Amino acid sequence: MKDWSALATELYDGGFHPMLINGEWREAQSGKTIEARNPANGSLLATVPKGESADIDAAVAAARKAFEGPWSKFTPFERQALLLRIADKFEAEWETLCLSDTLDMGMPIQRTLANSRRVLGMLRFYAGQAVTIHGSTIPNSFPGEIYSSTVREPVGVVGAIIPWNAPIAGSIWKIAPAIATGCTVVLKPSEEASLTVLMIARIMQEAGLPDGVLNVVTGLGSEAGAALAEHQGVDKIVFTGSTATGQAIARAATGNLKKVSLELGGKSPVIVCKDADIEKAVPVAAMAVFANSGQICIAGSRLFVAREIHDEFVQRVATFAANLKIGQGIDADTDIGPIISARQAERIAGFLAAGPNEGAEVLTGGCIAEGDHLQGGHFIQPTVFGGVTDEMSVAREEIFGPVISALPFDTIDEVVTRANATPYGLAAGVFSTHLGTAHKLAHRLKAGSVWVNMYHAIDPAVPFGGVKMSGYGREGGTEHMEEYLDTKAIWINTD
Ligand code: NAD
C-alpha cells in the first residue's frame, strides 16, 4: 500500500504559495497572507495570499486584456487542443492533485482518486464541445431582401467563486467551459481550501494556457469574493456555495446586471419504498450522506422509509454507519475524514444537540469523534436520527455534515408532498423495484437530479443543478455551454 504521509511532507512544508494573475505568480498587494491548515491534524501546510479588491481589480484587468487580445484569435480547434493537453497533464499528475486535496480539505484519498474518470472526463467533454459552437440561418419575413442569422459569442470575463468541499471538480467545472467557449476567468477559491486550485492553475499554465485566461485570487469571501461579485468589469458570475452567499452574490451582481448562475445548498430526500431491494439500498442510502463526511451539497439527508420496512431499514443503515472507519484522509482505509474547520464542526455539533432536544432518537453516532489518531483534527461520528418529524431542525436545515434524519411514510402521495415541502430542490433519490412507482416519483419530485436505485452519479455530459433555492443554471451537458455564450443576431440587407 502506498505511503501517502511521506509524499505529503514533500508536497507542503509550511511555505508560501503565490496566486496567479496575468501569468505571474504574485503576493497580495497588501502583503497579507492566510494560513492553510490540514483539517485532519491542524498542521500548517502553507500560506497563501490574502487577496483583496485591489488584487481582484488587477485580475479582472488581466482577464479583460486576454479576452480582447490574443485569446480571442484562438480557433475552436486550438482551444480544443489546449483542453486535451490540460487533460493529459492532469492525468499524469492525478495522484499529486488528489493528495493535495486530501491534505487541504480532508476528503479521504480513496474518494479523491476515484474522481479521476469524472474530472478527466470533464476536460475531454468540454474539449469536444469547443468545436460544436454554431449559430443558425433563420428564414425571415423578407426573403431575398434581408438575410438573418445568429452567431454564438463568449460572454466575456467570468468571475468564478467555489466552496471548499470539492476543489478539483468544482474549479474544472468553472474553467473548462470557459476555455471551450473562449471566455476568460477570475477564480476565487474558498479560503478553507485554496492549495489544489493553485496547483491546477500551475498545471494549466504549463500546458500552454495564455497569460490572463485564468487568474486565481485567493482570499476571503467577504473581501476578494465580494469584490469579484460586484466588479463592473465582470460579465458573468458562476457560483457554487451556500444559499445565503448565493443570494448576496445575486444582489451584488445587479450593479452592472451581470449574468449569474448559482449552484447552492440542498436538503435532499431519499425515498425508500416498501418494495425496495433493501440489501442494495442500505449502503447507497448511507453513503448518500456519509461520503465526504456529509460535506456534499447533494447529501440525501432526509431518509423517508415506507413504514412497513422502516425500523429494519433504518437500523441497518445505523449499523452500516457504526462500522465506517473514521480517520485521516491519507489513510487508504479511511471512510470518514475530517470536517473542514472547527467552525463547521461546531455548527454540526449544534445539530447533534438539537436533534435529541427536539425529540429525535440517536440510533448511532451523535457525538464529536475522538481518539489518539484524531488528535488536532475536527471529526464527527456518522449519525442516524430516528423518530424525526418534518418540523424538527434536523429535517429542515442543511447540516453539511454526516447526519441522516430518518422519517417513516405511509403513501406515495404523502411522501411526495413531504419530500417537496422544502425551500431546496437540488437532488432526490428513489429506491423501488416497481418501475411505475420509480417513474412516478422521479417525475413528481421537485429537484434538479433524481437518482433511481442509485445515488451520487454525476457525469460531464449530463446537466446538473438545482431548482427553487438550490439555484439556477446548469453545469455539465450542452446546457452548460449555453451559460458561457451569448447569441447575436446579424441582419444583412441583400437587396
Ligand atoms: P459559502 O457560501 O460560505 O462559500 C462559498 C464561496 O463563496 C467561498 O469561496 C467563499 O469565500 C465565498 N464567499 C463567501 N461570502 C461571499 C460574499 N459575500 N461574496 C462573494 N463570495 C463569498 O459556502 P461553503 O461553506 O464554502 O460551502 C458549503 C455550501 O456550498 C453548502 O451550502 C453546500 O450545499 C454548497 N455547495 C453546493 C454545491 C452545488 O453544486 N449545488 C456544491 C458544493 C457545495
All domains of the chain, ordered by start, with CATH? 4-264+470-490 (3.40.605.10), 269-459 (3.40.309.10)
Q: What is the pTM of this model?
A: 0.97
Q: What is the pLDDT of residue 392?
A: 98
How many Å separate Cα 329 from the centre of its chain?
19
For the Cβ of 263 lying below 6 angstroms from any atom of ligand 1, the answer is yes
Q: What is the pLDDT of residue 2?
A: 78
Q: Which of 56, 242, 289 to mutate to test the pocket of ligand 1 (most atoms within 8 A of CB)?
A: 242
Active site residue 263: yes
Q: What is the pLDDT of residue 44?
A: 97
Distance 3 CA to ligand 1 centre (A): 33
For ligand 1, atom 42, name the residue with the nearest CA.
297
C-alpha cell at 292: 465526504
Mean residue pLDDT of the chain comes to 97
Catalytic residue among 52, 297, 398, 483: 297
Please give the C-alpha separations between residue 157 and each of 99, 186, 187, 332, in angstroms, as whole numbers.
31, 7, 11, 40
Please give the C-alpha separations between residue 462 and each of 183, 425, 478, 480, in angstroms, as whole numbers.
22, 17, 8, 9
Residue 252 CA: nearest ligand 1 atom is 19
C-alpha cell at 463: 446537466
Active site residue 98: no
Using CA atoms, how far apart are residues 119 and 111, in angstroms rounded to an integer?
Answer: 13
Q: What is the pLDDT of residue 1?
A: 64
Q: What is the pLDDT of residue 6?
A: 85
Per-residue pLDDT tens digits of the chain, which is 495 residues long: 678 888 888 999 999 999 999 999 999 999 999 999 999 999 999 999 999 999 999 999 999 999 999 999 999 999 999 999 999 999 999 999 999 999 999 999 999 999 998 999 999 999 999 999 999 999 999 999 999 999 999 999 999 999 999 999 999 999 999 999 999 999 999 999 999 999 999 999 999 999 999 999 999 999 999 999 999 999 999 999 999 999 999 999 999 999 999 999 999 999 999 999 999 999 999 999 999 999 999 999 999 999 999 999 999 999 999 999 999 999 989 999 999 999 999 999 999 999 999 999 999 999 999 999 999 999 999 999 999 999 999 999 999 999 999 999 999 999 999 999 999 999 999 999 999 999 999 999 999 999 999 999 999 999 999 999 999 999 999 999 999 999 999 999 998
Using CA atoms, how far apart are residues 295 and 180, in angstroms rounded to an integer?
Answer: 29
For the Cβ of 97 lying below 6 angstroms from any atom of ligand 1, the answer is no
Using CA atoms, how far apart are residues 302 and 447, in angstroms rounded to an integer?
Answer: 14
Q: List, in sequence order, the alpha helices (H) in 253-403.
A: 278-290, 307-322, 342-357, 393-396
For ligand 1, atom 10, name the residue with the nearest CA.
221
Residue 164 CA: nearest ligand 1 atom is 26
Distance 163 CA to ligand 1 centre (A): 4
Using CA atoms, how far apart are residues 322 and 384, in angstroms rounded to an integer?
Answer: 9
Using CA atoms, how far apart are residues 216 and 18, in angstroms rounded to an integer?
Answer: 10
Share of the chain above pLDDT 70, in %: 100
Q: What is the pLDDT of residue 63?
A: 98
For the Cβ of 475 lying below 6 angstroms from any atom of ligand 1, the answer is no
Residue 163 CA: nearest ligand 1 atom is 26
Using CA atoms, how far apart are residues 483 and 469, in angstroms rounded to an integer?
Answer: 19
